[in-house]
Structure 1
Amino acid sequence: MIFKSLLQPLSFVCLLNLSLYAAPPTINSTSLKTLNAFGVDADFLTNRANTDALGSVQQTFDKLLQHYDANGVFIPTIKNMLLQANVPIEFLFLAMAESRFSARAYSVKRAVGIWQFMPKTAKMLGLKVNTLVDERRDPIKSTQAAITYFKMLYKQTHQWYLVAMAYNYGLRRVLEAIQVAGTDNINVLLDEGKKYLPLETRHYIRSILSLAIAFNNLDTEGNKAYLLNRGRAKH
């Protein structure tokens, strides 16, 4: 695995296991627009496992906002960098799933920073990682490296949702899963019976999409917790 996903801080696996108790998800034009940013169509929301994931995120949204506020200072900068690079701004929520936007985040497998780079991958992308300097903790340099990698993955997969999957599981393994499945359709790849992708990756992509939908709905509804203003307030 090229990258180590740090799901534990937000306990997404636990959240998704609460699906039987989740409130019905909000499905509206903003939700569909958010999915489209990843190259995912409305059929995604006809799948029970997918809507359960969204319902679980919505049910625990107040706690997620607390996590956001604790480390949201870098969000406006990350958003602007993604926009300038023509990468969907919804990839903000990949960083949230990885690290809660914490530059200090560290995993047991030595993944570090907002984007949870492993040392080998960080060096491949031009970041300095040695006993004196670890640029994985630099929010600007590490975000630029992440953008570079997103674009590399997109050239190979041609779908943003596949980029997110490959970020977690590795490009080669995702391409192999597509070959076995005979399609790159997200609902087929996430099939709980066939298990073309491991459980962690299935949870991972559902978590990112669900977070993006929930926070974008918050933005659209004009809530006082408008996500970019919350980030700027930390400056």
Structure 2
Amino acid sequence: MFKILLLIATVFISANASLIGSNFSQRDLQILKELDIDPAYITDYKLQKTYNRYLQNIQLKYVNRFNRASLFVPKVKEILREEGLPETFLYLAMAESSFTLDAKSHARATGMWQFMYGTAKNLGLKNDIYVDERMDIVKSTYAATKHLKYLHGQFGKWYLAAVAYNCGQGRVIEAITRATIDMYEDENGKNNDKSQQIKKYRRTISLYQQKRVKFRELNNIYKEILTWDVKPDIYELLMEQKKIRRQYLPEESRGYIRKIISLAMMNNQSFVTENDYSHIRNIGVTSPIATVKVKGGLHLKNIASAIGMEYRDLKMLNKHIVRNVIPTYNEDYEIYIPYSRLSIFNQNKMNIEPTKYKVHIVKRGDNLFDIGKKYGISYKAIKSFNKLKSNRLALKQKLVIPFVEGTGLKTKNYYVKNGDTLLSIAKMHRIELDKLMNDNNLKTSLIKKGDKLVITYR
């Protein structure tokens, strides 16, 4: 009966794309088609609810996200097309990070595509004292396309690749396996030709959920059920089962695919296609950023000065240069500049002022951590520049510090008084509490009268 109703809905939509009202169009159906989703899914109640909520509540935020990312969104679109992915995956990045290049989650996923450290490393992205390529516009996007293509190869549908991007390949395999078994029993009854096999499978799945058997046991069942003549689609996988604690897919992942679809469909709405925001639809026609190579050891501030650009604007495009100094382990390294600055870059690239170096002579009580805070540079970077094998320092030892005027930090000591709290001290000096704790290596907020705290500021 369900399949008959689904077939009727599909035919009805094909005949009349406006069946759901004026909010939906043929462009919206094309988005579903790109993701290998049945067009009839546009009638899904929860999808419509998500879409309408976004349409009513986040129009201005939506426009602002695109405006803020207008320099690099075209490059992302270009890479998606080049790699043969649906352009709709632009909205996966929007769902992940709101196009924020240095976004960080509580789980420590980082960048526009929200890669965890291990995944990023497996995809070839560097993460060291100089760079975190999870925040690199181009390299992270290529890594995302590589990962999504792998997941598409595993599951054969782009929407499943997107869901697996969110909750993991293993969870999607579990979902498809459980849904297939449930559908087989719904169609053939509990007492069927596979009932003993199914009983054994359910037992193994339960043990897997309890982490008492390894993933390969579940994967073996998955490979077997793929040969069955029942195939769960987006309706079954996203459905909410009654009285079942562990749904096929996590609630977040079910909402995730609906969010991506809704954000993509918003780009077809009149608030974007008409009036003051119509430029958003044209973002991506040309690429306004250029990739250039610069010498290792240069500071972004000096590069910005050489091309007549604001330092903060250059930093915004190059969040992956985490210490603002180009890695010294390469003769040159790629960064991004506005295309409008390419000509002046080519004229001045041989004349970019080298990074200045200061020599710090180690005094009694010095350590790498405090020296780094003094000059506004990571102690690890100092260690690397000076090729130190340990953190130990010798009295009167000379350390070379890469330094650009205006980027260093000032420090002063503060001695805790009666009635002081870390929060009150932070407010007094107009700094964040977390920064005060990190600068002083504090694990708790407990302090006592007479304690010495280091206050760092620009």
TM-score (norm 1): 0.83
Match of 1:135 among 112, 124, 133: 133
| Ranges in structure 1 where 5+ consecutive residues have no aligned partner | 1-23
Match of 2:237 among 189, 209, 225: 189
Contact 1:30 1:217 (8 Å CA) reproduced:
no
Counterpart secondary structure, 2:50 = helix
The answer on 1:211 being equivalent to 2:263 is yes
Match of 1:146 among 144, 164, 167: 144
Q: Separation in 1 of the partners of 2:91 and 2:158?
A: 13
- Give the 3 Å change call, closer, same or farther, for CA 233–143 of structure 1 in structure 2: closer
- Give the 3 Å change call, closer, same or farther, for CA 180–76 of structure 1 in structure 2: same
Identity percentage of aligned residues: 40
Contact 1:25 1:58 (8 Å CA) reproduced:
no
Alignment of 1:102-181 (within 5 A): 102-181=100-179
Counterpart secondary structure, 2:72 = helix
Q: CA deviation at 1:219?
A: 9.6
Contact 2:74 2:283 (8 Å CA) reproduced:
no
Higher mean displacement: 217-226 or 39-48: 217-226
Look up the match of 2:220: none
Q: Separation in 1 of the partners of 2:111 and 2:288?
A: 22
Q: CA deviation at 1:45?
A: 1.7
Q: CA deviation at 1:161?
A: 0.2
Q: CA deviation at 1:130?
A: 2.1
Q: CA deviation at 1:193?
A: 2.8
Contact 1:117 1:136 (8 Å CA) reproduced:
yes
Q: Separation in 1 of the partners of 2:69 and 2:250?
A: 29
- Give the 3 Å change call, closer, same or farther, for CA 33–219 of structure 1 in structure 2: farther
Higher mean displacement: 143-152 or 184-193: 184-193
Matched to 1:56, the amino acid is R
Higher mean displacement: 69-78 or 90-99: 69-78
Look up the match of 1:202: 254
Look up the match of 1:52: 49
Matched to 2:239, the amino acid is D
Contact 2:267 2:281 (8 Å CA) reproduced:
no
- 1 or 2, which has the higher strand percentage? 2
Look up the match of 1:85: 83
Contact 1:218 1:226 (8 Å CA) reproduced:
no
Look up the match of 1:227: 280
Contact 1:74 1:101 (8 Å CA) reproduced:
no
Q: Separation in 2 of the partners of 1:217 and 1:34?
A: 13
Q: CA deviation at 1:51?
A: 1.0
Look up the match of 1:19: none
TM-score (norm 2): 0.44
Q: Separation in 1 of the partners of 2:271 and 2:88?
A: 13
Q: CA deviation at 1:107?
A: 1.2
- Give the 3 Å change call, closer, same or farther, for CA 219–161 of structure 1 in structure 2: farther
| Pairs aligned (count) | 212
Contact 1:106 1:113 (8 Å CA) reproduced:
yes
Look up the match of 1:4: none
Contact 2:32 2:38 (8 Å CA) reproduced:
yes
Q: Separation in 2 of the partners of 1:74 and 1:184?
A: 37
Larger Rg: 2
CA root-mean-square deviation: 2.2
- Give the 3 Å change call, closer, same or farther, for CA 102–62 of structure 1 in structure 2: same
Alignment of 1:14-33 (within 5 A): 26-33=23-30
Deviations 1:3-59 (A, max 9, x none): xxxxxxxxxxxxxxxxxxxxx771211110111110112221222111111111211
Q: Separation in 2 of the partners of 1:70 and 1:176?
A: 39
| Ranges in structure 2 where 5+ consecutive residues have no aligned partner | 1-20, 181-230, 290-337, 339-458
- Give the 3 Å change call, closer, same or farther, for CA 220–39 of structure 1 in structure 2: farther
Look up the match of 1:20: none
